[in-house]
A and B are shown apart, each in its own frame.
Chain A
């Protein structure tokens, strides 16, 4: 089996600050995703990457940047943190894009002061 690691577990920033969240997977999966989950709600797709060096915008990409440094890692940057985007950010990976199970990391909880 594999594992997805997200760092940090908790991230506290000031309004307007640029913040970076990191994700690593050892499944050797091609496709990785970033989702945002507001308190107890569903998941909204921010960015995804079909394979190394690929980036695709999701439905919620405004205010975020992403980087797929290598096959195993995928970073998300909040370009200017806002109080209304306090949420849990979840990273996931799957073998490929499409009808394949997505495996999720434990999440990074973002607090904006």
Chain B
């Protein structure tokens, strides 16, 4: 059974900082990797996803994936107070089917 863990559990950074969130998974045959963001009291919303090893950048957000290390990460450049939210990583099983979510990292960006 896929195990997905996130670190740190919570993080406080000043506005303008670079933020790095980490996610580890247990199945090296996993096929799909995604980050979701959930603002307080709202529904989770997909942020970015990646299928293959490497890096993907969209605006201030970058995903790194290293399947051999069973690790992927989300980096937020020039963090803004509006980025304050619960960040959830999600990894598919080796059939590329259902997602397993991590326990989340609560990010607070101080103005």
A2 at the interface (CB under 8 A from B): no
Total contacting residues, chain A, CB less than 8 A: 24
Residues from chain B with a CB closer than 8 A to the CB of A43 are 44, 88, 101
Cβ-Cβ contact count across A and B, 8 Å cutoff: 56
How far apart sit A102 and B86, CA to CA, in the bound complex (Å)?
17
28 contacts between A and B (CB under 8 A): A35-B101, A40-B104, A40-B106, A42-B4, A42-B88, A42-B103, A43-B44, A43-B88, A43-B101, A45-B98, A45-B100, A45-B101, A48-B98, A58-B98, A59-B100, A97-B97, A97-B98, A98-B31, A98-B32, A98-B96, A98-B97, A99-B96, A101-B49, A102-B46, A104-B43, A104-B44, A105-B43, A107-B43
State how many residues of chain B have any CB contact under 8 Å with chain A: 26
Within 8 A of A (CB), among B78-111: 86, 88, 92, 96-104, 106
CA distance A59 to B88 in the complex (A): 18
Shortest distance between the CB of B54 and any CB in chain A (Å): 16
User: B99: which A residues are within 8 A, CB to CB?
Assistant: 45, 102
How far apart are B16's CB and chain A's nearest CB, in angstroms?
26
User: Which of A33, A41, A48, A105 contacts B104 (CB under 8 A)?
Assistant: A41
Q: Which residues of B contact A4 (CB under 8 A)?
A: 43
Tell me, yes or no, whether B1 is within 8 Å of chain A by CB.
Answer: yes
Q: Could you tell me the distance between the alpha carbons of A42 and B46 in the complex, rounded to whole angstroms?
A: 14
Q: Are B98 and A99 in contact (CB under 8 A)?
A: no
Of listed A35, A42, A59, residue having the most chain B CB within 10 A: A42
Given the complex of chains A and B, what is the CA–CA distance between A44 and B103 in angstroms?
9
Note all chain A residues with C-beta closer than 8 A to B103.
41-42
**A106 in the interface, Cβ–Cβ < 8 Å?**
yes
Tell me, yes or no, whether A90 is within 8 Å of chain B by CB.
yes
User: Which of B43, B88, B96, B103 has the largest count of A CB atoms less than 10 A from its CB?
Assistant: B43
Task: Identify which of residues 1-53 in chain A touch chain B, using a CB-to-CB cut-off of 8 Å.
Answer: 4, 33, 35, 40-45, 48
- Is the CB–CB distance between B88 and A99 below 8 Å? no
